[in-house]
Structure 1
Amino acid sequence: MPALPAFSAPWRDRAGRLSGLKLSVFLFALAPGLWLAGAYAGDALGAKPITALLHGTGEWAVRFLLLSLAVTPLRRIANFPKLILVRRMLGLTVLAYALIHLALYVVDQNFVLTKVVSEIVTRFYLTIGFVALFGLVVLGVTSTDGMIRRLGKAWPRLHKAVYTIAVLGLVHYFLQAKIDVSDPVFWTGGFLLLMGWRALQRLRWPINPLTLLGLAVAVALVTAGLEAAWYGFASGIPAERVLQANLAFPSMIRPAWWVLALGLILPAVNAARLAWDRSNTRTDPKTRPAQPRSRQAMAAR
């Protein structure tokens, strides 16, 4: 009988050594769930604790999904290759919170599975949420080393579905929020930042602090327009009023400003990395350009 593969703790690297980065991300992934569980145990979630848990786990699933999509941009902008070590962990964290989200919905419906199925089929926002969850399950099942080898070249194509899943998750978030969509707007702005970076890569634009600054400003403006369009479509509020609310600063900080603040992290990190690289180039003799030989040395030779 073949030996079973040894269990690998999520805080260890492939060599079995403790990874501070993986341990930190693992604890961070657990923290929201532990906080929600503690709040539930302490009766601190209001009159409808299951509903609060349902919303909380769904929101964290979206947040961790966007964090997983941020790994590649941050890894390249900050020149921090080790970030790739936590991408799979973040992806599985998304799946875990999404599955708990569904389980809590079943609890909220008093375990009446026929009603759960009926609601998912007949309510559009639940339908797209379930489709997104199904996609996450597929990606989770195929995220193992064995499945990566088995799928070969098809694996990257399959896992590009994560972008569609993210869009579905954000639409589900918008529709579920109904009245106040500040959080969905903010996280959609974050998603647009990540997609904007990928667009720059595809177009082969130079990635430097200036282009990243332009990206941050452009996405913030798009976010403001998206919020205005949503309120205009969903509630009939004139788009001009919503756009003007973005200027009621600082009494009311709209999501577009927070997206701008988030986006400004990218050029700041990139500038810091470039400064660090230049500093290392000056101080490390191995990276200095070769100095031309003096005339005396050439003559002696």
Structure 2
Amino acid sequence: MIDRLAVPLGIPLPWLDRAGRLSWLKLAVFLACIAPALYLAAAFRLDALGAKPITALIHATGEWAVRFLLFSLAISPLRRIADWGKVLVVRRMLGITVMAYAVAHLALYAVDQNLVLTKVVTEIALRLYLTIGFVALIGLIALGLTSTDAAIRNLGPNWHRLHRLVYTIAVLALVHYFLQSKIDVSDPVFSAGLFLLLMGWRAMRRFKLPERPWSLLLLAILGALATAGLEAAWYGLASGVPASLVLAANLDFSGPIRPAWWVLATGLLMPAIALVRGSRAPDRTPRPAAGAPRRTPAKTALSEPLSPSV
């Protein structure tokens, strides 16, 4: 009853579809979006965040902003590879979630600085990694505020140009993540590897390369290799550790599994999904009548690949 009253009253309940009906997909994603915030709030209330709880909250909200940004970028590959058009309905929700966690990230930093705004502004201006993070935040706010149907209508073609900045914003967010992590960059490397994987898929779409299980498998392998190279380059430039030692660590399984292997495992989901979809896809090719000549179906506009989307 509440769900059906929400639309006439103008209440934008995130778990409803455009007809005002409950969407189980949107509800599940909404719960996933707020779950980290609820966990962090409970951990803070129970004093379970260590000696510096605000610092822990700052790091956690920033990390979740990056994660949800990657989730939002994974919507288009999931839609195409799994042939799951309905997943597009949650992309806007994920984008708003990214903005919310990023704003919380900055707000908590201000709290850590005792809400002395002059100090906050000075730190952002003088510390490069804070400047980069702040620029990324401004971009996320711009995308979030223009994610409404009214903004899409008013901006017209400029809306697509504006929202393609999400790729630049993702790069800035990852650089900020790397710089603030300082010593151990395993999590930023993994996130960057996933970003490379997602951008690799978009490159395949842009250059109209075949999206077959074998090509997606190759993409996963290349993404893992690029991740290992990125990790070696970062440690080499930041701390002078020889690249050969970092690369060799990827073959040493006595310690923690390196990010490249996690990127490979994630990337292997793409060819696996493509294989499952291919095995389940029904054959819609019309069978010719007995004695009728076989004709090659004409290529239509629907068979052309769509342009890469956010």
Normalising by structure 1, we get a TM-score of: 0.93
Q: Which of the residues 183, 197, 202 maps onto 2:201?
A: 197
Structure 1 segment 81-160 matched on structure 2, within 5 A: 81-160=85-164
CA distance in 2, matches of 1:100, 1:143: 19
Given the alignment, which residue of 157, 168, 171 partners 1:167? 171
Aligned residue among 281, 290, 295 for 1:293? 290
Question: Which protein has the larger Cα radius of gyration, Structure 1 or Structure 2?
Answer: 1
Q: CA deviation at 1:250?
A: 4.9
Q: Distance in 2 between matches of 1:67 and 1:250?
A: 30
Distance 1:288 1:153, change over 3 A: closer
- Distance across 1 between alignment mates of 2:256 and 2:138: 38
Secondary structure class of the residue paired with 1:119? helix
Once residues 206 and 158 of structure 1 are traced to their aligned partners in structure 2, the CA distance between those partners, rounded to angstroms, is 29
Is the aligned partner of 1:178 residue 2:175?
no
| 2:49 aligned with 1:45 | yes
Given candidates 66, 73, 78, the residue that maps to 1:69 is 73
Aligned amino acid, residue 289 of structure 2: P
Matched residues in 2 for 1:81 and 1:276: separation? 16
Percent identical residues: 65
Matched with 2:14 is 10
The residue number in structure 2 matching 1:298 is: none
Aligned to 1:211: 215
Gaps of 5+ in 2: 1-7, 293-310
Aligned equivalents of 2:122, 2:285: Cα separation in 1: 68
Kept in 2, the 8 Å contact 1:68–1:87? The answer is yes
- Which letter does structure 1 place at the counterpart of 2:33? A
Does 1:24 pair with 2:28?
yes
Quick one: distance in 2 between partners of 1:117 and 1:204? 45
Distance of 1:252 and 1:60 partners within structure 2: 22
The one-letter code sitting in structure 1 at the alignment partner of 2:286 is P
Return the alpha-carbon distance in structure 1 between the equivalents of residues 43 and 243 of structure 2.
38
Q: How far, CA to CA, are the matches of 1:224 and 1:92 in structure 2?
A: 31
Residue equivalent to 1:244: 248
Gaps of 5+ in 1: 282-286, 296-301
Higher helix proportion (structure 1 or 2)? 1
CA distance in 2, matches of 1:260, 1:269: 15
The TM-score with structure 2 as length reference comes to 0.90
Amino acid at match of 2:250: N
Counterpart-to-counterpart distance in 2, 1:130 and 1:146:
27
Aligned-CA RMSD value: 1.3
Tell me what 2:276 maps to. Answer: 272
1-structure distance, mates of 2:291, 2:136: 67
